[in-house]
């Protein structure tokens, strides 16, 4: 059974979905006005870890994840989790490590089901910030800039 909760953060409302004791989705810019009463222990853990991250970027997420994607996407998402806080890699650098292309890495980042937890915001263009959530301008890019500043990477 899927369960969802919504919380406020410095980058806007966030929604998290869990299933069978694992985090399956995280979404930015949620318009839900619902204040969720947290009764699920996993939801409480997610909320605490996310709040800890926004207090101190040095926080490491330790959450059970159910990442559903192609084998290549999962390979990219695992590589994203290995990028330390305050560090970035270009799409090309990550692609070279994975013996792939920058475009394929970008597509896998765009498909990331749990952004923030799997830090796709730490992947940038060779000469700039790159995209975020499939966008190259607007609120998504401002959110990426905020996260990178928070982590000391900008």
Q: What is the pLDDT of residues 5-17, one digit of tens each?
A: 999 999 999 999 9
User: pLDDT confidence of 19, banded at 50, 70, 90?
Assistant: very high
Q: Is residue 34 over pLDDT 70?
A: no
Active site amino acids: 120
Q: Is residue 32 over pLDDT 80?
A: no
Q: How far apart are CA 127 and CA 1, in angstroms?
A: 44
- pLDDT confidence of residue 35: 60
Q: How far apart are CA 56 and CA 104, in angstroms?
A: 31
> Residue 56: is it exposed, middle or buried by C-beta count within 10 angstroms (0-12/13-18/19+)?
exposed
- pLDDT confidence of residue 123: 97
């Amino acid at each position: 059974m899927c369960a969802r909760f919504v919380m406020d953060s410095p980058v806007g409302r966030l929604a998290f979905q869990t299933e069978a004791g694992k985090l399956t989705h995280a979404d930015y810019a949620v318009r839900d006005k619902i204040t969720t009463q947290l009764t699920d222990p996993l939801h409480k853990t997610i909320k605490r870890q996310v709040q800890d991250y926004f207090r101190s970027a040095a926080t490491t997420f330790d959450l059970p994840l159910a990442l559903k994607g192609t084998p290549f996407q999962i390979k990219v998402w695992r590589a994203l989790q290995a990028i330390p806080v305050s560090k970035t890699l270009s799409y090309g650098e990550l692609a070279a490590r994975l013996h792939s292309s920058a475009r394929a890495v970008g597509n896998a980042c765009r498909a990331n089901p749990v952004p923030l937890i799997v830090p796709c915001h730490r992947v940038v263009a060779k000469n700039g910030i790159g995209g975020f959530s499939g966008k190259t301008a607007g609120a998504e890019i401002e959110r990426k800039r905020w996260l990178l500043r928070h982590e000391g990477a900008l």
